[in-house]
Amino acid sequence: MNGYYHVGKTYSNSDFKPKQDQPESKPKSRGLGDAVEAILTKTGIKSLFHKIVPEKSCGCKKRKEMLNKLVPFSNNNENI
């Protein structure tokens, strides 16, 4: 038998080739505000704040926009 057998099905070697999908595209960072947002989200600080004070706005959007204007990244918009 050329291939693999598992629970009633035979697989050929071509069934196990890695997929040639496009790599996941990350959102482009426009500036420091996007970087700060990514850090706060990945560390869980943002979700923790919203659990503690769910009814109050944290000003995230305003802070992000202000920091992006103050400290923009280069024109090539490198990913974080």
Model confidence pLDDT, tens digit, residues 38-78? 999 999 998 888 888 877 777 888 999 999 999 998 765 45
pLDDT at 59: 82
Predicted model pTM: 0.55
SS3 string, the chain, reads: CCCEEECCEEECHHHHCCCCCCCCCCCCCCEHHHHHHHHHHHHCHHHHHHHHCCCCCCCHHHHHHHHHHHCECCCCCCCC
Domain boundaries, the chain: 28-71
